[in-house]
Amino acid sequence: MTPLPDPTALRAANRRGILAMSAAMASFVANDSLVKLVSESLPAAQLIFLRGVFATGLLLGIAVLLGAHRGLASLGNGRVLLRAGFDGFATLAYLTSLFHLPLANATAINMATPLFITLFAVVAFHERVSAARWLAIATGFVGVLLVVQPAGAAFNVYALLCLGGTLLHAGRDLTTRTIDARIPAILITLSTAITVTVLSGLWSLAQPWQVPSPVQLGQLAAASVFLSGGYYLIIIAMRGGEMSLIAPFRYTGLLFALVLGWALWGDVPNALAWVGIALIVGAGLAMLRRR
């Protein structure tokens, strides 16, 4: 990574990236919770497509309000297309594996993304990652494993597919850093929404369609707002600051998921999970303190 000329600017960029990453994870968890509710009665591909239609319309409207629609030609930018492709296929890979894996296993694999991003940041952008930061990232990941408690017997070929999706997510975030800063984040967000919508639409053709109820449409519309916010915020998070510092704050998503799991479904962490929560929080605080 090309270092920022001013340490004060770097600290500001890191702070902005950490806040954006944490807010993005909260948005994605809220989206996932709504999707989980709808998935109990609507086919997965259909609900992802309908949510994508809502998200695309919302983002296009925001782009027009911001005047960014004048730059719609940038949707054809090679790196914007590459990032959207990474995100679209990562989504399909993760969801396909999720249908054949316990949720805990899929979550644990997906939460390895910060490890891959840090490795890519070292190789591609020559970031200097201290031993203390590597230790904090690893500690946070151990905390994730203690919370989700994946079953070893359930790892199979779909676990490899899920790992592929995790690598694609890391590639998406790496590509975000290479996109011309003059291209508005809202247009990059729009490109992702369009790609996921098109791919899920093709996928939905292989499944029987159901007529959604007004309640389901309302839930999907709400989910699209959170999804769009998550897309946008994660772009903001990855466009500045140190990737190896910002990426591990993806772990905050698990904490938000625990809160919503308790509020909506009454799920209460066991003793081992509380140890994992303490490790995740401790690792995050340690990284913040060192910065």
pLDDT, tens digit, 9 for 90 and up, residues 231-277: 999 999 999 889 999 999 999 988 888 888 888 778 788 898 899 99
The number of domains in the chain is: 1
Handedness of CA 199, 201, 206, 211 (dihedral sign): positive
Instruction: Please determine, for residue 1, whether its predicted confidence score (pLDDT) is greater than 50.
Output: no
Instruction: Please determine, for residue 95, whether its predicted confidence score (pLDDT) is greater than 50.
Output: yes
Whether 129 is covered by a domain: the verdict is yes
Region 27-31 average pLDDT:
90
When pLDDT is cut at 50, 70 and 90, the band that residue 2 belongs to is: very low
Instruction: Please determine, for residue 98, whether its predicted confidence score (pLDDT) is greater than 80.
Output: no
Whether 141 is covered by a domain: the verdict is yes
Instruction: Please determine, for residue 213, whether its predicted confidence score (pLDDT) is greater than 90.
Output: yes
* Count of CB atoms situated within 10 Å of the CB of 52: 25
Whether 2 is covered by a domain: the verdict is no
DSSP secondary structure letters along 67-131 = TGGGGGGGGG-HHHHHHHHHHHHHHHHHHHHHTTS-HHHHHHHHTTHHHHHHHHHHHHH-----H
Residue 35 backbone dihedrals phi, psi, to 5 degrees:
-65, -40
pLDDT for res 5: 53
Q: Which domain holds residue 25?
A: 7-290
pLDDT for res 7: 82
Q: Which of 54-68, 86-100, 263-277 has the highest mean pLDDT?
A: 54-68
H-helix or E-strand spanning residue 42: none
When pLDDT is cut at 50, 70 and 90, the band that residue 153 belongs to is: low
Mean pLDDT of the chain: 89
Q: Which of 20-24, 63-67, 282-286 has the lowest mean pLDDT?
A: 282-286
Whether 102 is covered by a domain: the verdict is yes
